[in-house]
Amino acid sequence: MLFLEELAKDDYWRIRENVARNPNTNIKVLDTLSTDKNGNVRWRVAQNPNTPIQVVQALATDKYTIIQRSVIKNPNTSITILLLIWEIEKTDQPEDVLEALFANPLTPAWLKACIETILPEVIS
């Protein structure tokens, strides 16, 4: 694992991205990479099923919707995190984020009903 820790510090973002997506990357490294300046690295952290819930929650507020979608799909996400994403931009939520929220089995029925009124084609 020390090897992955060293690679996580590499100057080349693609190396850090591959560390972030590696299932053997430890929690400490994932936590560090979750604040990487490169969005692709953070996206891979959000996708990694080993990313701890507190890191997943921090990534829920990322400016990139691809990261928010990955947070929604992460198996460690919670209802609290889904509601956080909804609250962040509920007035101007991107369609792809709404679709991901609607598809998540943890999303409460009332929230799915709200999404249906905003984006009726999601349910078809």
Tell me the pLDDT tens digit for each residue of 89-105.
666 778 899 999 999 99
For 108-121, the three-class secondary structure string (H helix, E strand, C coil) is CHHHHHHHHHHCHH
Other residues' Cβ atoms within 10 Å of the Cβ of residue 58: 19
CATH number of 2-123: 1.25.10.10
Q: What is the mean pLDDT of residues 79-98?
A: 87
- The pLDDT score that the predictor gives to residue 37 is 97
Each domain of the chain, given as residue ranges in start order, spans: 2-123
CB-CB contact of 23 with 50 (8 Å): yes
> Residue 18 pLDDT more than 80?
yes
> Residue 13 pLDDT more than 90?
yes
- The pLDDT score that the predictor gives to residue 122 is 62
CA of residue 50 relative to chain centroid, distance? 12
Phi (first) and psi of residue 16, to 5 degrees? -65, -35
